[in-house]
């Protein structure tokens, strides 16, 4: 089978590594092994160079996180089109039952035990066994558990993931399926929803059976729980449901609008007229075209001019090897320059953050020498001396004022003590914003999607202080943060708070998260005039402590 994997693109390779990671978990492999394969899959998705070429050239281990074991699997996949151990795991551990278990709310271990005892591997076989009253043959399944399982199987499948996916996982999932079928990604990821639960792909074809059959055969889809003439609902091994709509060509735009917008927004427009493209739907409705990010409940009227990725002139929050980053200041600057930026602020942590290395006053000054040397090589591009300066529990900043005064850009951040009361956290931030040297407040709510809820901070009071002092607030592009989120971006923008879209990149690859920050700002209605880092560098530095005319009310 030499060369049979030569057509594998990065998305396909990443999908196979994700499937391998899931099956390793199901087979009882250590969590670190599965996690390494998931990290490698995420890395491959966002790597611009074709991974298959790097594998053939023996260069794939130049990517940080690809060790010898993963390299062997990648070489096998590229050379033969498959991973033998993955095929073996799929025979031993039914991916279909695993995905169904997660989708139905049944533990994977329980579902696989059902499969082993009853000798079944598919949804149809499971339904037959349940109908025949065989579920109680499985140890630990009594009448009540059997009743719940039968009820779950009888329910109309809910097309929403039991656990939301962040954008770095949701968009590659739907895009890989859409690309394989020649369709368009839809659902929550198409609106750049930070924690996506509804996933869809829309295709156009006068012959839907062919598309539906190809959908069932995709490696990402382990089971199809529902299928009719032009629609199917498939499930991944992680239990994520993906809806496929195969539209007649003359209705493609109609179905795409329906599958893209939130259910509430779509309901407000029904009945949708038939049209072959989205523009035709909006024309027939007699309303302006609405960008996907704004297709949410409550949006009406003329869309504002929204921020574009090409409007951004620089990134004002990234890390290097001086704290917890993976690249030098020069390498980060070079990567930013290659993205077409004019400037990049190096904002490494300070010592009070605790969990990772941080810089004290001496370290910040020594780093300044490195940045100056890098700027000689990068000119006219400019690296800015900056800091992600920790806000201590008493509201003071983690660097002396004479050091802060030397810096071009200061991001103030709360890390420890985030479970404090509303009064404590708000007072802490407001005290820090009294400093004349703070440029911007980083990830203000401190949330980590699916892991940590937002801090109990009074954003309205914080925004009022930011307006009063002319400081900015950050939209942080890390996929598990996206903080500020959309609704808070809207609140800040309407009150006149200057916004900054940043990546918080810890590697050159992390600079690609700017798109997530931009899309989140767009969901909040932000345009180029709301965002400071759309400005040329001299204007940015001149205005960073300016006082805007608008006031927060």
Q: Read off the pLDDT band of 32 (50, 70, 90).
A: confident
* Six-digit token string for 326: 């993976």
How much is the pLDDT for 106? 84
Burial (Cβ within 10 Å: 0-12, 13-18, ≥19) of residue 18? buried
Residues 383 and 494 in one domain: yes
- 402: Cβ–Cβ under 8 A, 6 or more apart, which residues? none
342, 316, 333: which is closest to 373 by C-alpha? Answer: 333
54 and 121 in a single domain? The answer is: no
CA distance 404 to 384: 13
Q: What is the pTM of this model?
A: 0.87
- Of 92, 117, 144, the residue at which a domain comes to its end is 92
Statement to judge: residues 88 and 103 lie in one domain: no
Question: CA 391, CA 398: separation in Å to the nearest integer?
Answer: 6
* pLDDT on residue 548: 40
**Mean of the pLDDT values across residues 279-292?**
97
Nearest CA among 137, 136, 131, 138 for reference residue 154: 131
SS3 411: strand
SS3 content of the chain, % helix, strand, coil (to 5): 50, 15, 40
Say yes or no: 427 and 515 in one domain.
Answer: yes
Parent domain of 107: 95-154
Q: What percent of the chain has pLDDT over 70?
A: 96
User: What's the mean per-residue pLDDT of the chain?
Assistant: 92
Q: Does the bond joining 271 to the residue before it have cis omega, within 30 degrees of 0?
A: yes
**Residue 7 has what pLDDT?**
65
Q: Alpha-carbon distance 233 to 181, whole Å?
A: 15
* Confidence band, pLDDT 50/70/90 cuts, at residue 321: very high
Note the pLDDT tens digit of each residue in 350-394. Answer: 999 877 889 999 999 999 999 999 999 999 999 999 999 999 999
pLDDT tens readout for residues 139-195: 988 898 889 889 888 888 888 888 899 999 999 999 999 999 999 999 999 999 999
φ and ψ at residue 454, rounded to 5 degrees: -60, 150
| Number of other residues whose CB lies within 10 A of the CB of residue 483 | 26
pLDDT in tens, 408-444: 999 999 998 878 899 999 999 999 999 999 999 999 9
Same domain, 353 and 424: yes
- My answer on whether 367 and 479 are in the same domain is yes
Domain match, 278 and 399 both: no
Angle (nearest 5°) at CA 52 between 48 and 54 = 70
Among the listed residues 319, 350, 322, 324, the one whose alpha carbon sits nearest the alpha carbon of residue 335: 319
More confident residue, 385 or 105: 385
Task: Give the total number of structural domains in the chain.
Answer: 4
Determine the 3-state secondary structure of 392 from DSSP.
Answer: coil
Give me the mean pLDDT over the 90-112 stretch: 84
Of the pLDDT bands very low, low, confident and very high (cuts 50, 70, 90), residue 544 is low
Shared-domain flag, residues 395 and 504: yes
Is the pLDDT at 485 greater than 70? The verdict is: yes
CB count within 10 Å of CB 202 equals 26
Same domain as 248, residue 109:
no
Residue 301 within a domain: no
103/241 Cα distance (integer angstroms): 7
CB distance 473 to 463 below 8 Å:
yes
Confirm if 215 and 224 have CB atoms less than 8 A apart. Answer: yes
Last residue of a domain, one of 294, 324, 346: 294
The residue with greater pLDDT, 376 or 64, is 376
Alpha-carbon distance 365 to 152, whole Å? Answer: 62
Cβ atoms within 10 Å of 84's Cβ, excluding its own: 11
**Cβ contacts of residue 361 below 8 Å, gap of 6+?**
399, 400, 403
> Which residues 6+ apart lie within 8 Å of 254 measured at CB?
247, 272, 273, 274, 275, 281
Q: Read off the CATH number of the domain in which 208 is found.
A: 3.30.460.10
Count of alpha carbons within 13 Å of 547, Cβ hemisphere only?
6
């Amino acid at each position: 089978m030499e060369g049979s994997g030569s057509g594998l693109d990065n998305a396909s390779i990443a999908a196979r590594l994700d499937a391998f990671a899931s099956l390793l978990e199901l087979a009882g492999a250590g969590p670190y092994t599965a996690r390494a394969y998931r990290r490698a899959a995420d890395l491959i998705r966002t790597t611009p160079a074709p991974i298959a070429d790097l594998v053939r050239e023996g260069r794939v281990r130049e990517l940080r996180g690809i060790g010898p074991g993963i390299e062997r699997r990648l070489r096998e996949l590229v050379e033969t089109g498959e991973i033998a151990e993955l095929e073996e795991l799929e025979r031993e551990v039914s991916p279909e039952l695993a995905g169904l278990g997660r989708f139905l709310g049944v533990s994977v271990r329980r579902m696989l035990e059902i499969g082993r005892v009853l000798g079944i591997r598919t949804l149809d076989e499971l339904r037959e066994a349940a109908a025949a009253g065989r579920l109680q043959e499985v140890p630990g399944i009594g009448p009540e558990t059997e009743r719940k399982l039968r009820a779950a199987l009888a329910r109309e499948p809910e097309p929403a993931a039991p656990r939301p996916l962040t954008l770095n996982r949701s968009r590659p999932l739907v895009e890989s399926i859409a690309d394989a079928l020649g369709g368009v990604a839809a659902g929550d990821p198409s609106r750049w929803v930070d924690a996506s639960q509804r996933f869809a792909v829309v295709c156009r074809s006068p012959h839907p059976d062919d598309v539906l059959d190809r959908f069932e055969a995709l490696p990402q889809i382990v089971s199809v729980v529902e299928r009719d003439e032009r629609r199917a609902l498939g499930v991944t091994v992680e239990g994520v449901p993906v809806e496929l709509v195969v539209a007649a060509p003359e209705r493609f735009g109609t179905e795409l609008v329906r599958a893209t917008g939130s259910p509430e927004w779509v309901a407000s427009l029904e009945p949708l007229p038939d049209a072959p493209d989205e523009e035709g739907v909006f024309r027939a409705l007699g309303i302006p075209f609405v960008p996907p990010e704004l297709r949410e409940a409550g949006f009406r009227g003329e869309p504002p001019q929204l921020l574009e990725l090409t409007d951004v002139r620089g990134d004002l929050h990234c890390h290097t090897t001086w704290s917890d980053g993976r690249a030098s200041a020069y390498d980060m600057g070079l990567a930013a320059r290659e993205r077409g930026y004019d400037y990049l602020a190096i904002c490494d942590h300070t010592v009070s953050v605790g969990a990772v290395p941080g810089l004290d006053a001496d370290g910040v000054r020594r780093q300044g020498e490195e940045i100056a040397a890098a700027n000689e090589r990068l000119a006219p591009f400019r690296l800015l001396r900056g800091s992600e300066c920790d806000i201590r529990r008493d509201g003071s900043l983690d660097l002396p004022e004479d050091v802060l005064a030397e810096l071009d850009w200061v991001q103030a951040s709360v890390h420890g003590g985030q479970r404090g009361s509303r009064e404590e956290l708000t007072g802490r931030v407001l005290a820090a914003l009294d400093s004349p040297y703070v440029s911007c407040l980083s990830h203000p709510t401190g949330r980590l999607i699916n892991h940590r809820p937002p801090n109990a901070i009074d954003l309205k009071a914080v925004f009022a202080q930011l307006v009063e002092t002319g400081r900015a607030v950050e939209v942080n592009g890390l996929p598990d943060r996206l903080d500020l989120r959309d609704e808070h971006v809207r609140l800040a923008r309407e009150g006149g708070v200057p916004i900054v879209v940043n990546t918080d990149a810890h590697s050159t690859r992390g600079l690609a998260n700017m798109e997530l920050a931009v899309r989140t700002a767009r969901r909040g209605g932000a345009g180029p005039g709301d965002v400071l880092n759309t400005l040329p560098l001299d204007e940015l530095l001149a205005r960073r402590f300016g006082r805007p005319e608008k006031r927060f009310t």
